[in-house]
């Protein structure tokens, strides 16, 4: 739990920020790369330290107290994932712990999807989202082809802004569509990808797998909401204030057989799983709704001024990033602003910004289909970022315009 839970006053964000030791230890630096990995609050570090110094043992492989307690913690963590996601039917769902989103998506592909596709079936997947949400499905196609089963992989139609083209989606769906992989929040454009429109287009029977790496822990995700009628949710712990090397797959288990891990299961990342529980406790105490509003406001603040500088091109739809956007909340951007300078290469701009103390991502951002020579600069925000940091960044960017 947080050392001190922020209240409703102006000190809310300052109190939350103060609980991140790496942030407070380096006031000369501004961390703006939370879409790549988030920093960790003291409560998470304390929980891991306590576990490793009082209880550390292997899970499911012993009868002595430390081993029993570790096994209990892993099972408690499964329930914690369900409660954090607002699972409406926890008695029927499955939670598997993985090394992160990439491994989680591969788990769905390998341990579930490959067994439920037949010759001539089609799947719809994103060809312009994170590479991790494309390669597992292409691997599935290759594996099945080696077995003599030909499956067609079709691209989710998209708009120039990076959003899915929901009007064209109906034409991409066929009677042989058996599965859809989608992204909740885009890692480059920061947009909510409107999964409810995908469900409307594909109908009530087709399973949907959601890459939630940029949404879990960043904005409210409540699976009881009809707008999130998905079958799998996959996310990474390290983007959710927890340790690297852990993540989870949640499966609803209502369309098709239940998700079950195949093969021998090795030792889980017990410290990472403990950190994930602690991170969820911290996020609940702070309020994910409040965090989402905070980072969305900062993103709007950055975009409003950046789009007035002719030297910069903002990727995605600037109107949906703006603080005064009239678009519905589901179409707003969530704490990610990606842009290019029209004259300065993005990797050079990244080095320039670091010389001023700003740590940003500056490359092709692991976007599927992107030309690695055509990079961009991504600013991604979290609760520890401030309006003053955004204003300082804008001053530096304006000096380069």
pLDDT digits (tens, 9 = 90+) for 55-64: 999 998 889 9
Please tell me the least confidently modeled range out of 69-73, 180-184, 242-246, 312-316: 312-316
pLDDT, position 11: 87
8 Å CB contact between 30 and 389: yes
Q: Can you tell me the distance from the alpha carbon of 313 to that of 337, in angstroms, rounded to the nearest whole number?
A: 11
Which of 197, 211, 142 lies closest to 168 in space, CA to CA? 197
Q: Can you tell me the distance from the alpha carbon of 366 to that of 339, in angstroms, rounded to the nearest whole number?
A: 15
Mean pLDDT value across residues 271-276: 98
pLDDT at 196 over 50: yes
3-state SS, residue 216 = coil
Which of 177, 185, 262 lies closest to 216 in space, CA to CA? 185
Q: Can you tell me the distance from the alpha carbon of 239 to that of 35, in angstroms, rounded to the nearest whole number?
A: 7
3-state SS, residue 226 = helix
312: enclosing H helix or E strand: strand 312-314
Q: Can you tell me the distance from the alpha carbon of 323 to that of 107, in angstroms, rounded to the nearest whole number?
A: 38
Q: Can you tell me the distance from the alpha carbon of 295 to that of 171, in angstroms, rounded to the nearest whole number?
A: 36
User: Strand 208-211 to strand 232-236: parallel, antiparallel, or no bridges (unpaired)?
Assistant: parallel
pLDDT, position 7: 52
Predicted confidence (pLDDT) per residue in 368-390, tens digit: 777 666 789 999 999 999 999 99
Which of 19, 16, 45 lies closest to 293 in space, CA to CA? 16
111: enclosing H helix or E strand: helix 101-111
Which of 203, 184, 201, 202 lies closest to 193 in space, CA to CA? 184
Q: Can you tell me the distance from the alpha carbon of 388 to that of 325, in angstroms, rounded to the nearest whole number?
A: 22
User: Strand 152-155 to strand 122-125: parallel, antiparallel, or no bridges (unpaired)?
Assistant: parallel
3-state SS, residue 36 = coil
pTM of the model: 0.93
Predicted confidence (pLDDT) per residue in 313-333, tens digit: 999 875 555 555 555 554 567
């Amino acid at each position: 739990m947080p050392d001190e839970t922020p209240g409703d006053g102006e000190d809310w964000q300052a109190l939350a920020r103060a609980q991140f030791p790496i942030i407070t230890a380096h006031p000369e630096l501004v961390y703006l790369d939370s879409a790549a990995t988030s920093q960790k609050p003291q409560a998470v570090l304390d929980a891991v330290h306590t576990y490793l110094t009082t209880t550390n043992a292997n899970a499911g492989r012993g009868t002595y107290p430390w081993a029993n307690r570790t096994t209990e913690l892993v099972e408690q963590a499964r329930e914690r994932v369900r409660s954090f996601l607002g699972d409406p039917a926890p008695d029927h769902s499955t939670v598997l712990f993985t090394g992160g989103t990439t491994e989680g998506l591969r788990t769905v592909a390998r341990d579930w999807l490959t067994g439920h596709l037949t010759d001539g079936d089609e799947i719809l997947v994103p060809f312009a989202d994170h590479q991790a949400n494309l390669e597992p499905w292409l691997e599935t196609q290759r594996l099945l082809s080696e077995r003599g089963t030909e499956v067609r992989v079709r691209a989710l139609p998209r708009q120039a802004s990076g959003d899915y083209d929901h009007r064209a989606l109906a034409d991409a769906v066929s009677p042989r569509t058996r599965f859809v992989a989608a992204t909740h929040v885009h890692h480059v454009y920061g947009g909510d990808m409107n999964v409810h429109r995908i469900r409307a287009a594909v109908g009530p029977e087709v399973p949907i797998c959601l890459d939630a790496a940029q949404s879990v822990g960043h904005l409210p995700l409540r699976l009881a909401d009809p707008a999130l009628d998905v079958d799998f949710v996959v996310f990474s712990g390290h983007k959710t204030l927890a340790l690297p090397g852990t993540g989870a797959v949640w499966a609803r288990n209502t369309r098709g057989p239940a998700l079950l891990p195949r093969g021998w299961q090795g030792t889980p990342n017990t410290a990472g799983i403990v950190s994930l529980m602690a991170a969820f406790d911290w996020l609940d105490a702070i309020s994910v709704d409040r965090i989402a509003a905070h980072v969305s406001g900062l993103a709007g603040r950055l975009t409003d001024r950046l789009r007035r500088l002719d030297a910069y091109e903002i990727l995605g739809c600037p109107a949906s990033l703006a603080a005064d956007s009239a678009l519905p909340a589901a179409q707003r951007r969530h704490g990610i602003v990606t842009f290019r300078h029209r004259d300065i290469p993005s990797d050079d701009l990244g080095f320039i910004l670091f010389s001023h103390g700003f740590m940003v991502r500056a490359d092709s951002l692991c976007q599927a289909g992107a030309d690695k020579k055509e990079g961009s600069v991504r600013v991604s925000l979290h609760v520890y970022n401030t309006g003053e940091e955004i204003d300082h960044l804008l001053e530096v960017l304006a000096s380069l315009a």
